[in-house]
Amino acid sequence: MTQVAHTRDELVAALDGAGGEVAVVMTMGALHEGHGRLIRTARQRSPFVVVTIFVNPLQFGPGEDFEKYPRTLEADLGACRAEGAAVVFAPGRDDVYPGGAPSITMNPGPLGAILEGASRPGHFSGMLTVVEKLLRLTRADVAYFGEKDFQQLALIRRMVLDLELGVEIVGVPTVRESDGLALSSRNRYLSEQERKSALALSRALREGAGHSDPAAVLATAGKILAEEPGVRLDYLELTGADLGDVPDEGPARLLVAARVGATRLIDNVPIVLRKEA
């Protein structure tokens, strides 16, 4: 039986039912199979999984899609029940921010200034602030996050390390449509034509990752993106697996962000670099 908590008090009561480890999956709702995979991965290890559903105003910039972000609570609750979540915490704004807009917030540091941080000022500060709060409110022992938001995952790991939060963070690989498109709640904004254009992102990453020389990786991926008129590239970057400098060889990451119509999409893949023999 899935318990639904909308307030802090209801959450406290629901958490009384946890006999052991509490596993948490945080979402902004509009749940899809990517979220489903996170919940299922959590369930494989922990009988008591808490799913949070909260569209966090703090991580949206002016002019971003906070107001129009899809809100599908009834369907989301159905999905959480079907996945066997013990608790769904779907708080209102005042339950998360009882003091109003917080005056003390997280500083994401240098890792938060690059890539998404450069394009979306304030986004990671707002994200980390709510993640830290929700980890505490849910009394999480372990929390699951998708590699789809790779920089977010890296920042959360760093926050847990730097601030001694004592929570285990587990990353889950990106779930894709059969044609390669990474699942995202924002995909529902795309028209049929835009969805076709959006496929260039995953195709560029996939074909780029087929090379092992950094210049060839970027040239291949960049060409595919440049040839798709429906895509306005924000960034295409090759980094180390920890988002630091590109290594001469070994694991690295290829990341992309672009606008397709009015919709901003991100995606990334792991990649292995090799020195030419």
Closer to ligand AMP by CB, 38 or 86: give it: 38
Q: Give the residues lining the site for ligand AMP (CB under 6 A).
A: 27-28, 34-35, 37-38, 145-146, 148-149, 172, 174-175, 182-185
Closer to ligand AMP by CB, 68 or 275: give it: 68
Closer to ligand AMP by CB, 194 or 267: give it: 267
Q: Are 61 and 120 within 8 A, CB to CB?
A: yes
Q: Are 231 and 221 within 8 A, CB to CB?
A: no
Rounded Cα gap, residues 182 and 206, in angstroms: 12
Which residues are annotated as part of the binding site for ATP? 28-35, 146-149, 175, 183-186
Residues marked as catalytic:
35
Min separation Cβ 153 and ligand AMP, Å: 7
Which residues are annotated as part of the binding site? 28-35, 59, 146-149, 152, 175, 183-186
Contacting residues for 190 by C-beta, under 8 A, at least 6 apart: 198, 260, 261, 263
Min separation Cβ 171 and ligand AMP, Å: 9
Min separation Cβ 64 and ligand AMP, Å: 13
Which residues are annotated as part of the binding site for beta-alanine? 59
Phi–psi pair at 170, nearest 5 degrees: -120, 130
Query: Which is nearest to 257 in space by CA: 222, 233, 225, 228?
Result: 233
Place of tokens 């006999």: 19
Eight-class DSSP state of 215: H
Phi–psi pair at 189, nearest 5 degrees: -75, -20
Closer to ligand AMP by CB, 197 or 202: give it: 202
Rounded Cα gap, residues 163 and 189, in angstroms: 37
Burial class (CB in 10 A: 0-12, 13-18, 19+), 269: buried
Residue nearest to ligand AMP (CB): 146
Closer to ligand AMP by CB, 176 or 259: give it: 176
3-state secondary structure of 65: coil
Q: Are 235 and 257 within 8 A, CB to CB?
A: yes
Min separation Cβ 26 and ligand AMP, Å: 6
Min separation Cβ 267 and ligand AMP, Å: 9
